[in-house]
Homo-oligomer: A and B are copies of this chain.
Amino acid sequence: MFSKACEYGIRAAVYIALQSLDGRRVSVNEIAEEIDSPLAFTAKILQQLSKSKVIHSVKGPTGGFEIERTDMDHVKLSKIVHAIDGDEIFVGCGLGLKECNAQKPCPLHDKFVDIRNNLKNMLEQTSLYELATGLEVGLTYLRR
Which residues A102-137 have CB closer than 8 A to chain B?
Answer: 104-109, 111-112, 114-115, 118-119, 122, 126, 131-132, 134-135
A33 to chain B, nearest CB (A): 15
Q: Are the CB atoms of B94 and A140 closer together than 8 Å?
A: no
Whether B134 pairs with A96 at a CB distance below 8 angstroms is no
CB-CB under 8 A for A98 and B144, given A115-B119, A126-B108: yes
Measured in the bound complex, the distance between the Cα atoms of B115 and A134 in whole Å is: 19
1/0 contact string of A74-101 vs chain B (CB within 8 Å)? 0001000000000001001011111100
CB closest residue in chain B, given A116: B1
A residues adjacent to B (C-beta < 8 A): 1-2, 4, 7-8, 10-11, 14, 77, 89, 92, 94-99, 104-109, 111-112, 114-115, 118-119, 122, 126, 131-132, 134-135, 139-144
Interface contact B114-A118, CB-CB below 8 Å: yes
Please name all residues of chain B whose beta carbon is closer than 8 Å to the beta carbon of A112 when the two chains form the complex.
122
Q: Shortest Cβ distance from A94 into chain B, in angstroms?
A: 6
**Copies per complex of this chain:** 2
Given A95-B11, A115-B119, A119-B115, A107 and B135 contact (CB-CB distance below 8 Å): yes
In the assembled complex, the Cα of A118 lies from the Cα of B122 at a distance in Å of: 13
Q: Specify which chain B residues have a CB less than 8 angstroms from the CB of A8 in the assembled complex.
A: 96
**B94 & A107 in contact (Cβ 8 Å cutoff):** no
Known contacts A95-B7, A115-B119, A122-B114, A107 near B142 by CB under 8 Å: yes
